Every structure is written in C-alpha cells, then in structure tokens.
Amino acid sequence: MTERMILIARETLELELYEASRLSDRLGEQFVNAARAVLACEGKVIVSGMGKSGHIGKKIAATLASTGTPAFFVHPAEALHGDLGMIESRDTMLFISYSGTAKELDLIIPRLQEKAVTLIAITGKSDSPLAKAALAILDISVEREACPMRLAPTSSAVNTLMMGDALAMAVMQERGFNEEDFARSHPAGALGARLLNRVHHLMRTGKQLPVIADIATVMDALLELSRTGLGLVCVTNTHQQVVGVFTDGDLRRWLVEGGQLEAVICDAMTTHCSVLQTETRATEAKEMLMKKRISAAPVVDENGQLVGAINLHDFHQAGIL
C-alpha cells in the first residue's frame, strides 16, 4: 500500500511537471499582448474564475497587487449579482476558464463589451467563446490531467498558476518594480523592516535620549548612563553638536586608571566617535555599527546637531536582524 501511494504521487508530479514544461513554448505574441494590456491598464486588473480556477485566480490577483499592478479578485457569480458595478472601462479583466464556456460568461462578456473593458483569457480552448472575445489568450491546455479519472483540475491548475506568475513577473520587470517598491506593499514583513526603515524611525529621542553638556562631570554621565540604559551618553557643545560620547567601556577604563567622578567629562569621553545620519537606511546603519564593533551611536541631522541615539537592540526590536 505504501509503495502504491508513492508510485501514484510520483506519477502525479511527473505528469504535472511534463505539462508545465510545455508552457514556455507558448510564450509569444499573445503573451506579449496580454502583458501590454496589463501595463496599459489605467484602472485595476480584475481576475475572475469559477471553482478551482477561482482559487488560482485569487493567488494571481494577490501576486499582481503585490508586484505593482493594482488587482483584485471578483467571483463570477457575485459579478452577476452586483459586483459588475465595480468594473469600469479603465479596467482590464483576466478571466480564467479551462473550457472557456463557463455559463456565467454568457452574461459577463456582453456587459464587458458594453463597457469596453479589455478582456484577457486564460484558457485551454483557443476556439472557445471566452477566447474569441478576448484581446489576448494565454494557453494553459494540457494533454492529460494528473487525476486518474482525468477530471479534477490538476495539471491545468498548475499551468494556470504558472502562467499567471509568468505574466506578473514580466509586467513587474517591465515596470521597473524593485525591492523597495515591493517592501512598500509588505510594510509589516521582514523585507519591509529591512528596506523601509530609516534611522529616524528607530532612534531614541526626548527623555530616552542620553545627553549631557560638555561642561558636565563624569558623575553626570554615569547617572545618565544608568537612567537610559543605552550604553552610551552623547556629549554636546552649546550648539547641540556632538563633541564626543561616553560609554560603559569609557567609564570602566576611567575608573581603573584612577579617574575621579568629579572630573569634567571632556577628560574622559571618546572624542572621535561615529555618528549616524537620520535618513540613513536602518540596515546600513546597523552594518556600520557591526563593522566598527560598537553597540550604539548618536544620530545627527543635516546640520550636525544631535537629534537622537540608537543601539543594536533598537534594530533587533524593529525586526532588522
């Protein structure tokens, strides 16, 4: 029984892989026409399909939307009960139907033609009513479904998904859609945290900012270190410019060498310190700290004035690992 299940599973995969391998030979003028229609769309791409085609269609719509093409899925039955009102002449419809004869099409196609909505067909039948009404046809036909009864959409469902991905990727690259654009569509994800966050989004400000004047004492710096827990105190002059930093390490060295807590901070601080700019990408800022083997740094604006401070823990909390 175990060997038989493995054999069936292997045959299923091999059949689907075979059918999928034939798709690339079909990429030609029709595919280019479909891609151009999506690129030229001034509204949204509406993806639609019944049954398994609809499930795949939802994924295609999501892929398009996350790669720079405004898109959403509309169920054909819902379209016939009011949702057609969401579709405008500026939109493009991508309808998925292997047979191209879904009964809903009898009512949907005339309405699309009335509104002059561009229609793209993903179908296995190039002579179907859907194909004949479409500006472009994406051929997902298969010789055989992987289902042993040759009924359940299996090979054709895989072909539909792959053709949808091919269209989305071609359009995405033609738009010049890049990593940062992708991150804007995924601001809560790891990529969004890595690409969108700047230093000023994460830095500590206000009462959380450890800072003392350059006329303060080492004791003042010690108290500020303890109060904020950043591991660093920024030392500024009368113009709020950073003239140095005082760290936990500086404190230990000062005390070991017999320094007094009443001494002026300028005698104990590190003068040639690293600073970060507010608009620096957070990933780049973290890499700079790691490269210089420091755990924290002051943040300055374009005038060199202190506006915040940040340490490695702040990056980790933001999901920048």
- DSSP secondary structure letters along 10-39: HHHHHHHHHHHHTGGGG-SHHHHHHHHHHH
Query: Looking at residue 62, what is its pLDDT?
Result: 93
Query: Looking at residue 67, what is its pLDDT?
Result: 87
Q: Where in the chain is the domain with CATH 3.40.50.10490?
A: 2-177
Question: Is residue 120 helix, strand or coil?
Answer: strand
List Cβ neighbours of 211 (8 Å cut-off, separation of 6 or more): 224, 233, 234, 235, 236, 306, 309
Which helix (H) or strand (E) segment holds residue 299: the answer is strand 296-300
Name the amino acid, one letter, at 172. Answer: M
Q: Which of 3.10.580.10, 3.90.640.10, 3.30.70.590, 3.10.20.740 would CATH assign to domain 199-317? A: 3.10.580.10
Query: Looking at residue 233, what is its pLDDT?
Result: 95
Query: Looking at residue 38, what is its pLDDT?
Result: 96
Residue ranges in the chain modelled with pLDDT below 50: none
Dist. CA 232–CA 251, nearest whole Å: 10
Please state, as a whole number, how many other Cβ atoms lie within 10 Å of the Cβ of residue 250. Answer: 21
Q: What is the pTM of this model?
A: 0.68
Query: Looking at residue 186, what is its pLDDT?
Result: 54
Over residues 182-225, the pLDDT tens digits come to 656 655 555 555 666 889 988 999 999 999 999 999 999 999 99
Query: Looking at residue 192, what is its pLDDT?
Result: 56
Over residues 167-183, the pLDDT tens digits come to 999 999 998 877 666 65
Q: Where in the chain is the domain with CATH 3.10.580.10?
A: 199-317
| Topology (CATH level 3) of domain 2-177 | Rossmann fold (3.40.50)
Query: Looking at residue 182, what is its pLDDT?
Result: 64
